[in-house]
A and B are shown apart, each in its own frame.
Chain A
Amino acid sequence: MSDIRTTRWRLPAAAAAITLALAACTSPSASPGTSGPAGGEPADGEVVMISSQLAPTAEAELMSNEILADFEGEVEFIGAESGPFNDQINAQAETGEGDISLIGGLDGEFQAFAANDVLTDLSDVAEELADLGINQDYLDLGKVGTDQQLYIPWMQATYIMVARTEALDYLPDGADVNDLTWEQLTEWGANIESETGERKLGFPAGEDGLLHRFFQGYAYPAFTGGVNTTFTSDAAVEMWGWMTDTWQYVNPQSTTYGFMQEPLQSGEVWVAWDHVARLIEALESDPEAFVAFPVPSGPEGKAFMPVVAGLGIPTGAPNVEGAKEVIKYLLSPETQATTLSAVSFFPVIGSELPGDLDPGLQAEADAVAAQTAADDALPALLPVGLGDQGGAYSQVFKDAFAQIVVEGQDPAEVLAGLLPNLQDIFEATGAACWAPDPPSDGPCEPQ
Chain B
Amino acid sequence: MKSRLGWAPYALLVPSLAFLVVFFATPMVQAFTLAFQDPDGAFSMASVERMLRDASFRNALVTTLALVVLVIPIQFALAMAMALIINARLRGQGMWLYIYALPLGISELAAGIVWVSIFTQTGWLNSILEGLGIIDRPITWQSAETPLLLIMCVVIAEAWRATSIIMIILVAGLQSIPREYLEAADVYGATTWQRIRRVVLPMLRPSLQVALILRTILAFQVFATVIAIAGSGLDVLAGEAQRWATDIDNDHVAAAYAGLILVLSLVSTVLFLVLLPTREEHQA
Which A residues fall within an 8 A CB radius of B?
81-84, 86-87, 197-198, 205-207, 209, 251-253, 255-258, 266-268, 388-392, 394-395, 398-399, 402-403, 406, 418
Contact = CB atoms under 8 A, between A and B. Distances in A.
Contacts of B56: 399, 402
Question: Chain B interface: which size bin?
Answer: 20 to 34
B145 A252 contact: yes
B121 A251 contact: yes
A402 B146 CA distance: 14
Q: Is the interface of B mostly helix, strand, loop or mixed?
A: loop
A252 B140 contact: yes
B232 A253 contact: no
A350 to B, nearest CB: 36
B232 A266 contact: no
B116 interface: yes
Given A197-B137, A198-B137, A82 B247 contact: yes
B230 interface: yes
Contact of A255 (B121, B231, B243, B250): B231
Interface in B135-151: 137-138, 140, 142-146
A395 B56 CA distance: 11
B143 A253 contact: yes
A86 B246 CA distance: 10
A81 B144 contact: no
A257 B56 CA distance: 19
A388 B249 contact: yes
A402 B232 contact: yes
B182 interface: no
Contacts of A252: 140, 143-146
B78 interface: no
Given A206-B232, A395-B248, 12 more contacts: A82-B246, A207-B231, A252-B140, A252-B146, A253-B120, A256-B230, A256-B233, A267-B122, A390-B249, A391-B248, A402-B56, A406-B233
Interface in B226-260: 227, 229-233, 239, 243, 245-250
Given A205-B232, A395-B248, A253 B121 contact: yes
A260 B31 CA distance: 37
A205 B248 contact: no
B58 to A, nearest CB: 11
Nearest to A83: B249
Contacts of A198: 137-138
Contacts of B116: 256
A402 B140 contact: no
Contacts of B248: 83, 391-392, 395
A235 B116 CA distance: 38
Shortest beta-carbon contacts, A-B, top 6:
A206-B231, A256-B231, A252-B143, A83-B249, A255-B233, A391-B247
A119 B250 CA distance: 24
A406 B231 contact: no
Contacts, number: 87
A443 B249 CA distance: 21
Nearest to B141: A253
B1 interface: no
B236 to A, nearest CB: 11
A215 to B, nearest CB: 14
A216 to B, nearest CB: 15
B55 interface: yes
A395 B227 CA distance: 17
Interface of B: 55-56, 116, 120-122, 137-138, 140, 142-146, 227, 229-233, 239, 243, 245-250
A395 to B, nearest CB: 5
B153 to A, nearest CB: 10
A403 B250 CA distance: 22
Which of B137, B142, B249 gathers the greatest number of chain A CB atoms within 10 Å? Answer: B249
A10 to B, nearest CB: 34
A209 B142 CA distance: 16
Contacts of A394: 247
B55 A205 contact: no
9 contacts: A83-B247, A205-B232, A206-B232, A209-B231, A251-B121, A252-B146, A255-B142, A255-B233, A390-B249
B246 A83 contact: yes
Contacts of B145: 252, 406
A398 B232 CA distance: 9
A207 B245 CA distance: 15
Most buried by A among B122, B243, B247: B247
B55 A402 contact: yes
Nearest to A84: B246
A251 B56 CA distance: 22
Contacts of B250: 392
Contacts of B140: 251-253
Nearest to A389: B249
Given A252-B143, A255-B144, A391 B249 contact: yes
Contacts of B247: 81-83, 391, 394-395
B122 A266 contact: yes
A418 B230 CA distance: 24
Contacts of B232: 205-207, 209, 255-256, 398, 402
B144 to A, nearest CB: 4
Contacts of B144: 252, 255, 406
A266 B246 CA distance: 31
Contacts of A266: 120-122
Contact of B142 (A86, A87, A253, A391): A253
Contacts of A83: 245-249
Contacts of B239: 207
B146 to A, nearest CB: 8
Given A198-B137, A395-B247, A268 B121 contact: yes
Contacts of A395: 243, 247-248
A87 B233 contact: no
A256 B112 CA distance: 12
Nearest to A400: B55
Contacts of B55: 399, 402-403, 418
